[in-house]
Amino acid sequence: MSELFQKIKKESMITSIICIVFGVMFCIWPGTILVTLCRIAGFVLLVAGIVLLIQGIRIQEMLGRSVRLLPAGVCVVIGIWILAKPGVFVSLIPILIGVMLAYHGVKDLIFSLEVKKGDSPRWWLGLLVAIATIIIGVILMLHTWLALEIGMMAVGIILIYDGVSGLWLNGRAGSAYKRYHNPEDDIIDVDYKEED
């Protein structure tokens, strides 16, 4: 096998195994992984804010300084808040999504009732979708951690699938590469013997 193909195959195998490991971790400890990811995001925001603050302080021009210091302050405050209360920050995500879904569901409900007035034969499909959207939105608002954990488990399952399929394709690609690039392996070498 060529050196490049071997390198690509090895890297693909490593990333597939990493995907499987992370997928299993996401499925077993979804809450812990979520809080850890939040803390990392908070730390990154805090560091970015500090860097922006240092850069802003060095700027002599007042307008340039204020343009740099405002986002720096926001990054520092949000970074500290996320580091101090990662659970609160994480729980806001499904609440915001739930509010948005509930709003869209109510809007769709109004639209489906308007469609009914127009004597559309399948107006009730829109009504069912609207009601389902409202219910999902309310569930996200009321059961934030459950929604987050289910979401993280879904991500974990997707990562496991990606890793397993990557390993399978890696093996298939290696076999195909050998057959295509080493056809002489299929030739059987025998001694020539002339018959009378």
Q: What is the pTM of this model?
A: 0.63
Give the pair of three-digit tokens for residue 89.
Answer: 């920050």
Average pLDDT, the chain: 86
Whether residue 138 is predicted with pLDDT greater than 60 in this model: the reply is yes
Q: Find the helix or strand (DSSP H, E) in which 5 lies.
A: helix 3-28
Q: Decide: 19 and 159 in contact? Cβ < 8 Å.
A: yes
Confidence of residue 7 (pLDDT cuts 50, 70, 90): confident
pLDDT of 27 reads 92
Q: Per-residue pLDDT averaged across 41-49, rounded?
A: 95
The pLDDT score that the predictor gives to residue 186 is 53
Give 50-80 pLDDT, tens digit per residue.
999 998 888 888 887 888 888 999 999 999 9
Question: pLDDT tens digits, residue range 142-194?
Answer: 998 888 888 889 999 999 999 999 888 888 877 777 777 765 555 555 666 67
Higher pLDDT, 193 or 33: 33
Q: What does each C-alpha distance from 32 to 20, 77, 119, 143, 182 come to in angstroms? A: 17, 23, 51, 17, 49
pLDDT score recorded for residue 183: 57
Interval 96-108 mean pLDDT:
92
Any long-range contacts for 52-59 (C-beta under 8 Å, 24+ apart)?
none
Q: How confident is the model at residue 196 (pLDDT cuts 50, 70, 90)?
A: low
Which two tokens mark 84?
A: 């101090």
pLDDT of res. 39: 93
H or E segment and range at residue 170: helix 144-181
What pLDDT, on the 0 to 100 scale, is given for residue 119?
Answer: 82
